[in-house]
Amino acid sequence: MYPELTRPLLVLLAVAVAALITVGAVRPFLRRLALRQVSRRPLEAVLVIAGSLLGTAIIVGSFAVGDTIDDSVRTTAFRTLGPVDEEVYSDDLARGEEAARRLAALRADPDVDGLLTVAVDKAAVSRGEGVARIAEPQALVFEADFAAAATFGGRGPEGPDGSHLSGATPPPGAAVVNADLADSLGLSPGDTVTAYLYGRPTTLRVERVVPAQGLAALGFSNVNRNLFVAPGTLAAAAARADADATPSTITLVSNRGGVESGSALTDAVEEKIRAALGELTTSGAQVTTPKKDALASAEDVAAQLGSLFLFIGSFSIIAGVLLLVNVFVMLTDERRGQLGMLRAMGMRRRRLVSAFLLEGSVYGIVAAALGVAAGIGVGWAVVLVAAQIFAAFQDTGNALELSFAITPTSLFNGFAAGFLIAFATIAATSARVSRLNIIAAIRDLPDGAGRKPRRSLLIGSTLLAALCTAAAVPAVASSEGVTTYLFPALAVLFAVPLARRLAGTRVVATAASALVLAWGLLANVARPEVYDNGSTATYVVLGVMVTGAAVVLLSVNQDVVLRPLRLLTARAGEAGLAARLAVTYPTSRKFRTGATLLMYSLIIFTLVIITEMGAIIGAGTDRAVVEASAGYAIRADVAASTPISDPQRTLRSGDLAAQITEVTPLTIGRGTSDDPTGRSDTPLPVVLIGLPATAATRHPLALDTWLPSLGADETAAWRGIVADSRYVVLDPFFNTTAGPGTDQVKPGATITLTNPATGRAEKKIIAAKVKNALPYYSFPAQPPAYPVFAGADTVRSIYGDGARDTSLLIRAAPGVSDEQLAATMQGRFLANGLIANRIERDVRRNFAANVSFFRLMQGYLALGLLVGIIGLGVVMVRAVRERRRTIGILRALGVRSRTVTAAFLGESAFVAVEGIVLGTGLSLLTSWLMYANSPAFGGIDVAFPIAWATIGPTVGATLVASLLASAGPARRAAAILPAVAVRVAD
């Protein structure tokens, strides 16, 4: 992923490596000093590397998810299209033949490898009789010249037969089936199938089964179940049935080059196709570029999912950065005397920084290399779970098949990014800690705590505070997500040096952190639109800002927090001593304790928010069913060539009369639209769903918002919408990637709908938005499209003959099973290609899959908890080393080893509990404020749920893991011999 980042990352990596090599070669003393420090503490080096490699692993894992999606979509496109790059679609034979005649001149074009015209229509195909009958309600039936198909597209580098449709053309009465249809019906050569061509059964013998590749898998879906018959079969069947419909005609165009490389010429060839067709492009010949569109979709979807997982993982990456900062601050504390002596002997500050950089880069390089390997495993695990979730969204066998893939570009980018993040962190930390006071370091005195800031820092920070304040005004006024949070917080931060001239450090830190925390929690109350842009950066800034401010507020006021524990810490005896030791050391080391607290609280904060989002979605399932179904049990779809005559009467007669109380036909038109949000210039696929006036007012779909002029209630609004051809209604997810409420257009905006068969475009007013359109996201054997609702007459006025009454909404009688009714209807109307979709089941399945996706993200984020736990382990290991003499003295004075163990375990529990409680509390408060004030949740009308069943085990497991990580250092501390510990030597 992100090949555009490879070059800058390569340059930065080369600069960093060159600097390290130069320092190591020119200053061998620094090299020896750095390597000696690494080798002296192998256990601690392993812990640091283990914590640091997770950041690289998360980056590589995110890239692997994007690569997998991109590769899977591309593979599906190449499998279902083969050498086909462009298609010219006509909805009747005569127009299709004329289009093919005009396109014939392109055979001599050097950019075109081949042309092939096929006829196609939908039909039900079945095998067996009675209860043993199995059927595919809407298979695609093709007529094609197999000899021409075998040479279509030439013989490119992808193989000798890119079309995969070779051999003899089936004779009359016979058929060739692809592997997907054969698997669906259990077919083998010699079997007999029944194809319901235009409603009439036609018996066909299966000649052979061909792979579901190239032309043999051609269609509109990820999985197309195709049957190929002799030329003339479809036209003859339509004539015998006296059907109004005729087969559609598609002229397939293959560009010069192979299956993959040919798409590069799509723009040029498309222009030539349109020139050859002339006026036919506006009178029924529709030109499409399916492969180019599929590849563009692959890039977009891959980038979205990859960035989503990178966003989730960014909190773990930040935790890894904090771990490195903490490690090098502790290294400085441990070596203060040594560093002070080196500085006193004339070592310059930049040499000190170089030594730290060399040491840290050893950790960074090893961690990045191991992180790449771990990231491949993380990505594979995520893809494995995601494949099951994708399949749960759609149980018709048409889900995208994910196959793990990762590119060398992603591996390099992940390695480089992981190492450079570590390098930059170490450089910044080393530069800061190198500014130690030489005398204070040698004498092991506090390093000038409470000193007033330098004048240059004071002037610079004051100017920056003024700039951020000025920038914050327009940002907050416009509710820009990132800057609304960031600029006010930065203004407060930069004002701290000036405030320290007027008050003490504790007062200033308390006031500043309280202000930042309050703004982070309450900004969306004042500006509810702050989440409308859907940017993941907004949530990253919010999480870091809120947890960081809370940690600072807690760290400088630990004495207030610990007051309730005075009864425990003031107790006489070893229990009281252990309690005092457990809290004294963390509170005296504010920076390292604060960094560890921030690691814990940041990850817990994000983990709990994701848990709450999943809980809110789960809690809204029942209401979503009501809103999406409007009381209907089934949406039935029939083939356009075999509609049900008078469906209201037909479906409510005979034994069905007692099972069905209402039938509502939907008029369907497919085309494109512009993007009313203004984010994209690419035409968007839409399916316009026309509602009859009676159904729209008797059982209206739930509306979220609508134009005030349409009335005070939903019924009045729908009455005005279906009666006025100017109006349409949008789905709440229309062209969004982050859910409802993000970059949403408001009622009153306009959208331009285009009929691709005629090129006619009409501008419509967006009158309202429905609350839930889940039942209308997919239609059988059709590409995905955004649902748009209008009156039935409005749809017919735009699409003319292209608008068909191919969908029906069915209201079941009380007590009737929707599952049994769906099975009955599909069997009864097999000849019409009827597919029954159970609305409640589909909505619940979709919600369950969404909840599963949130759980996947929780698992991905849980890697960050490992960073925090490892960080706590590193802190405890260092604490044992730093307090070696103190422990020895305590043991010499008679303190038992179990008291020392209890003190260290209590210390780690103290830090972990504070981080867990802080992160959980902030997360619940933040998610409640978001839920109560953000328009993203405006359509969810349930009480705010708290998922204690998930949160409780999560935080409990985190606490237990933290104690286990500290158990080893605690035992080592208890095992220290007093006589050895009090010696000066290490």
Residue count of the chain, please give it.
986
Provide the residue type at 73 as one letter: V
From CA 141, how far away is CA 233, in angstroms rounded? 10
Q: What is the C-alpha separation between 556 and 910, in angstroms, rounded? A: 16
- Of all residues in the chain, the percent with pLDDT exceeding 70 is 92
Which two structure tokens, joined as six digits, stand for 743? 């970059």
Q: Which two tokens stand for residue 251?
A: 């002229």
DSSP 749: B
Report the Cα–Cα distance between both ends of the chain, in Å, rounded: 49
Calculate mean pLDDT across residues 297-325.
Answer: 80
Cα separation of 215 and 114, whole Å? Answer: 13
Tell me the pLDDT band of 532, cut-offs 50, 70 and 90. low
What residues have CB less than 8 Å from 923, skipping those under 6 apart? 604, 605, 606, 607, 608, 609, 612
DSSP 8-class letter at 747: B
**606, 861 contact by CB (below 8 A):** yes
Provide mean pLDDT across the span 917-932: 87
Q: What pLDDT is stored for residue 392 in this prediction?
A: 66
| Among 390-399, 517-526, 730-739, the least confident range | 390-399
Note whether 425 and 324 are within 8 A (CB): yes
Per residue in 112-154, pLDDT (tens digit) is: 988 999 999 999 999 988 778 898 988 999 998 888 888 887 6
User: Strand, helix or coil at 249?
Assistant: strand
Residues 188-230 pLDDT 10s: 999 999 999 988 899 999 999 999 888 998 887 888 899 999 9
- Assess whether pLDDT exceeds 50 at residue 741: no
965-977 confidence digits (pLDDT tens): 888 888 888 888 7
pLDDT at position 167: 84
Stretch among 241-245, 374-378, 534-538, 859-863 having the lowest mean pLDDT: 534-538
Confidence (pLDDT) at 589: 80
Stretch 593-612: mean pLDDT, rounded? 86
Residue 515 pLDDT grade (very low, low, confident, very high; cuts 50, 70, 90) = very high
| DSSP assignment letter at 251 | E
CB burial of 154-169 (b: ≥16 within 10 Å; e: otherwise) equals bebebeebbbbbbeeb
Question: Could you count the other beta carbons within 10 Å of the beta carbon of residue 393?
Answer: 18
Nearest CA among 26, 229, 232 for reference residue 123: 229
At 176, give phi and psi (nearest 5°): -115, 135
pLDDT of residue 938: 61
- Residue 157's pLDDT is 43
Token code pair at residue 845? 């399945």
d(CA 638, CA 839): 16
Query: Taking all residues of the chain, what is their mean pLDDT, rounded to a whole number?
Result: 84
Report domain extents, the chain. Answer: 1-79+303-452, 86-288, 454-529+548-559, 571-621+847-986, 639-833
Give φ, ψ of 386 to 5 degrees. Answer: -65, -35
Q: What's the CA gap between 901 and 880, in Å, rounded?
A: 11
186: left (phi over 0), alpha (psi -120 to 50) or beta: left
Q: Coil, strand or helix: which one is 349?
A: helix
CA dist 367 and 423 (Å) reads 11
* Beta carbons within 8 Å of 656's beta carbon, 6+ residues apart: 824, 825, 828
Contact in structure between 533 and 742 (CB atoms under 8 Å) = yes
**Higher pLDDT, residue 901 or 739:** 901
pLDDT band at 393 (very low <50, low <70, confident <90, very high): low
SS3 972: helix
Tell me what pLDDT residue 694 has: 79
Q: How far apart are CA 820 and CA 633, in angstroms?
A: 11
**pLDDT band at residue 535 using 50, 70 and 90 as cut-offs:** low
- Please give the structure tokens belonging to residue 384: 């494995």
What's the rounded Cα separation, in Å, for the pair 258 and 154? 8
Long-range CB contacts for residues 619-623, cutoff 8 Å, separation at least 24 = 619/940, 619/942, 619/943, 619/945, 620/847, 620/940, 620/941, 620/942, 621/843, 621/844, 621/847, 623/940, 623/941, 623/942
Hey, is 129 helix, strand or coil? Answer: coil
- Angle formed at CA 36 by CA 30 and CA 41, multiple of 5 degrees: 140
Residue 738: its pLDDT value, please?
A: 40
- Backbone Cα Rg of the chain: 34
Whether the Cβ atoms of residue 912 and residue 603 lie closer than 8 Å to each other: no
pLDDT tens column, 935-955 = 666 666 677 888 888 889 888
Partnered with residue 135 across adjacent β-strands are: 126
- Cβ partners under 8 Å of residue 578, min gap 6: 899, 900, 902, 903, 906
Query: What is each CA distance from 920 to 52, 198, 494, 642, 751, in whole angstroms?
Result: 24, 61, 29, 58, 43
Residue 479 has pLDDT above 70, yes or no: yes
* Model confidence, pTM: 0.80
Residues 6+ apart with CB under 8 A from 962: 868, 869, 872, 908, 909, 911, 912
Cα–Cα distance, 615 to 946 (Å, whole number): 7
Q: Please check whether residue 766 is in contact with residue 745, taking contact to mean a CB–CB distance below 8 angstroms.
A: yes
What is the rounded CA–CA span in Å between residue 908 and residue 904? 6
**DSSP at 654:** G
Q: Is the pLDDT of residue 959 over 60?
A: yes
Cβ atoms of 329 and 591 closer than 8 Å: yes
Q: What is the pLDDT of residue 320?
A: 78
When comparing pLDDT for 521 and 336, which is higher?
521
| Average pLDDT of span 625-652 | 89
- Kind of pairing between the strands at 86-90 and 248-255: antiparallel
Structure tokens at 199: 């409603």
Over residues 267-283, the pLDDT tens digits come to 999 999 999 998 888 87
Orientation angle between helical segments 897-933 and 948-974, nearest 10 degrees? 160
pLDDT exceeds 90 at position 848 = no
Supply the DSSP symbol for 220: S
Of 487, 534, 486, 493, nearest in space to 511 by CA: 493
Residue 882 · residue 976 · CB < 8 Å: no
Nearest of 136, 623, 65, 607 to residue 389 by alpha carbon? 65
Q: For residue range 798-821, what is the model confidence (pLDDT) as tens digits?
A: 988 788 889 999 999 999 999 999
pLDDT at 38 over 90: no
CB atoms within 10 A of CB 913: 15
Higher pLDDT, 489 or 568: 489
414 closest CA partner among 309, 536, 298: 309
pLDDT bracket for residue 174 (50, 70, 90) = very high
Q: What distance in Å separates the CA atoms of residue 324 and residue 326, rounded to the nearest whole number?
A: 5
Arithmetic mean of pLDDT, 888-907 = 85
Cα–Cα distance measured from residue 559 to residue 579, given in angstroms and rounded to the nearest whole number: 14
The SS3 assignment for 410 reads helix
Write out the two tokens for 84: 């086909």
Q: Per DSSP, which regions of 172-214 are E strands?
A: 174-178, 192-197, 200-210
